[in-house]
Amino acid sequence: MADAQRMKEWVQLMSDKGWRVTNQRKSLLELFLSSERYWSPLEVYEEMKRDYPGVSYDTIYRNLRLLSEPDLGVLEQFHFHDGMKFRARCESHHHHHMICMQCEKTIPFEFCPLPYVGQQPGFEPVMHRFEIYGYCGNCQGAEQKK
């Protein structure tokens, strides 16, 4: 999906949830649309305060958490050894990720373990996450040399 279409969809989702759609929030969304990398809350804050010098870290963090909540879900949050990071959600289809802990390279994989996890009677899954963290081929040698 083109970035302009994704932005329109995300803004509509925020509006549907009763959020004020401010220029600051649009800029936050644009940051994630313009990059496929993972962003820590501090990195987002540093980037956003260039255009919005009065923005607080708490405001950025709160918006990141809200944008990654399941009912909005425009961002995905990932837990790395150096803390939580965010990136724009994948748009294509349901899949999971193998993530390099060194360079943060992300390799999607299609296998979904949920049907094999032994669903509990009386429980209806509506969302799940599954990531595998390790080292990609390029970083394995560097990690072993440490």
Residue ranges of domains in the chain: 3-88, 96-144
Predicted TM-score (pTM) of the model is 0.74
Residue positions forming the annotated binding site for Zn(2+): 100, 103, 136, 139
How far from 129 is each of 13, 44, 89, CA to CA, in Å?
21, 23, 12
Residue positions forming the annotated binding site for Fe cation: 94, 128
The answer for residues whose C-beta is within 8 angstroms of residue 37's C-beta and 6 or more apart is 87, 104
What residue has token string 């970035």? 3
pLDDT band for position 31 (cuts 50, 70, 90) = very high
Of the candidates 71, 115, 119, 72, the residue with the CA atom closest to the CA atom of residue 94: 115
Determine the CATH number of domain 96-144.
Answer: 3.30.1490.190
Which residue stretches of 17-129 are H helix?
Answer: 23-33, 41-51, 57-67
Residue positions forming the annotated binding site: 94, 100, 103, 128, 136, 139
Of the candidates 104, 109, 100, the residue with the CA atom closest to the CA atom of residue 130: 109
pLDDT (tens digit, 9 = 90+) per residue, 88-133?
887 666 778 888 888 888 888 777 776 655 566 777 776 677 788 8
**pLDDT score of 68 more than 80:** yes
CATH class of 3-88: mainly alpha
The answer for residues whose C-beta is within 8 angstroms of residue 118's C-beta and 6 or more apart is none
pLDDT band for position 72 (cuts 50, 70, 90) = confident
